[in-house]
């Protein structure tokens, strides 16, 4: 595992020194399964997402990150929400300490098959009933729950 620690509602969390827009996808296939990756840096299952690059729209970033991290090309179908909770802090080994700022879009698969890579040790289409058996960070559970409960779009 790499060097990444996530804090949420933790008084012992370090103070953030950056705010970086990240975009990701909650992709659902025609069988109702969700596309998840097991992150190499934390060992936890998560939605595919990553840092937005200059010159990209949120949709372009989310599609690029999903393809890079999962091997699956997706088409955007909507928005789950904007998550910018100051209580969600991500500390990296290089000294960066980020406050969460994530735009999570809804999507459907277009092509490609789940495949492992430098960032994901496993990638899978997960049945809703199997989610409880996975190690998923509470902030990711929050996002998945908004989708499952139909309480979106959500804006922090």
* Residues 59-108: tens digit of each pLDDT: 999 999 999 999 999 999 999 999 998 998 989 889 999 998 999 999 99
* pLDDT score at 22: 95
> What's the whole-number average pLDDT of the chain?
93
CA-CA distances (angstroms) from residue 19 to 29, 31, 55, 90, 99? 32, 36, 18, 10, 5
Question: 4-151: which CATH architecture?
Answer: Alpha-Beta Complex (3.90)
* pLDDT score at 2: 54
The whole-angstrom separation of Cα 89 and Cα 2 is 17
For residues 101-122, give the mean pLDDT.
95
1 versus 5: the higher-pLDDT residue is 5
- Domain ranges in the chain are 4-151
pLDDT in tens, 22-41: 999 999 999 999 999 999 98
pLDDT in tens, 128-146: 999 999 999 888 999 999 9
* pLDDT score at 93: 87
The DSSP 8-state label assigned to residue 45 in this structure reads E
Question: Burial code of 10-33, b = ≥16 C-beta within 10 A, e = fewer?
Answer: eeebeebeeeeebbbbbbbeeeeb
Q: Measuring CA to CA, which residue among 148, 78, 125 is closest to residue 106?
A: 78
Question: Residue 9 in contact with residue 87, Cβ under 8 Å?
Answer: yes
């Amino acid at each position: 595992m790499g060097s990444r620690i996530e804090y949420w509602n933790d008084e012992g969390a370090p103070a953030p020194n950056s705010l970086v827009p990240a975009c990701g996808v909650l992709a659902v296939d025609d069988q109702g399964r969700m596309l998840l990756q097991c992150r190499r840096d934390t060992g936890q299952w998560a939605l595919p997402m990553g840092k937005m690059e200059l010159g990209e729209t949120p949709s372009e970033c989310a599609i690029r990150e999903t393809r890079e991290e999962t091997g699956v090309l997706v088409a955007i179908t909507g928005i789950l929400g904007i998550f910018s909770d100051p209580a969600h802090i991500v500390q990296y080994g290089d000294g960066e300490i980020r406050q969460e700022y994530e735009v999570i879009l809804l999507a459907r698969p277009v092509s490609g098959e789940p495949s492992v890579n430098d960032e994901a040790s496993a990638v899978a289409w997960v049945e809703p009933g199997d989610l409880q058996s996975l190690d998923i960070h509470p902030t990711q559970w929050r996002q998945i729950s908004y989708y499952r409960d139909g309480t979106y779009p959500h804006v922090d």
